Structure 1
């Protein structure tokens, strides 16, 4: 389940990077684009250690994806946001929720016993 969650997070991070490219007339505010780009890069940087089992890196992946998903909520309050953008935000929110649910058990994994 952890691998599936990490793959979903990797795809969402790549979408953050692609979403920061100029593609049309209607674009999110610059701050949202920059924050999405930074969060996407943070996720991608933490993916390799998280894949190898590093729980701190896994926490970074989960938090960066959750923050990225929250950035999209503003589209629901923008009258200029196209319907396709709203659908994309909903899909990203659902995928983020699924990924987090898949990754939480790995975060709760057995803790190492202290050395004696």
Structure 2
């Protein structure tokens, strides 16, 4: 479970890194895409560290991924957001929750 969660969070991190290349500058705005890319890079570093056994990397990783998911929430409330962007935001929030749960449950199982 632990590594499966890290894979999910790692894939989300890579997606964040690619976001500035995928945005049209409006959905999401370029500033949001750049912040997401920074969170993605930091998260990816933490994923690699956690994969190698650094237990101290797990909590900061989950916090960064949660911040990234919070950044997707405005898609649900802003007017004129395209349906695919809303679906992507929903997927990010859901996958972040799944990844965090898998990592935390897996970490607890490893600690026993």
TM-score w.r.t. the length of structure 2 is 0.87
Structure label with greater radius of gyration? 1
Inter-CA distance 107–60: structure 2 relative to 1 (3 Å threshold): farther
Contact preservation (8 Å) 2:27, 2:85: no
Deviation, 1:23, is 4.1
Contact preservation (8 Å) 1:26, 1:81: no
Q: 1:31: which partner in 2?
A: 31
Is residue 2:89 matched to residue 1:89?
yes
Q: 2:76: which partner in 1?
A: 76
Inter-CA distance 30–107: structure 2 relative to 1 (3 Å threshold): farther
Q: How many residues align?
A: 111
Equivalent-residue separation in structure 2 for 1:91 and 1:22 (angstroms):
16
Equivalent-residue separation in structure 2 for 1:46 and 1:20 (angstroms):
21
Contact preservation (8 Å) 2:69, 2:92: yes
Deviations 1:14-68 (A, max 9, x none): 1111112154363223332222011000011111210022111111211111110
The higher-RCO structure (CA 8 Å, 6+ apart) is 2
TM-score w.r.t. the length of structure 1 is 0.84
Deviation, 1:83, is 0.4
Equivalent-residue separation in structure 2 for 1:35 and 1:5 (angstroms):
23
Equivalent-residue separation in structure 1 for 2:2 and 2:66 (angstroms):
16
RMSD: 2.0
Deviation, 1:99, is 0.5
* Structure 1 unaligned blocks of 5 or more: 112-116
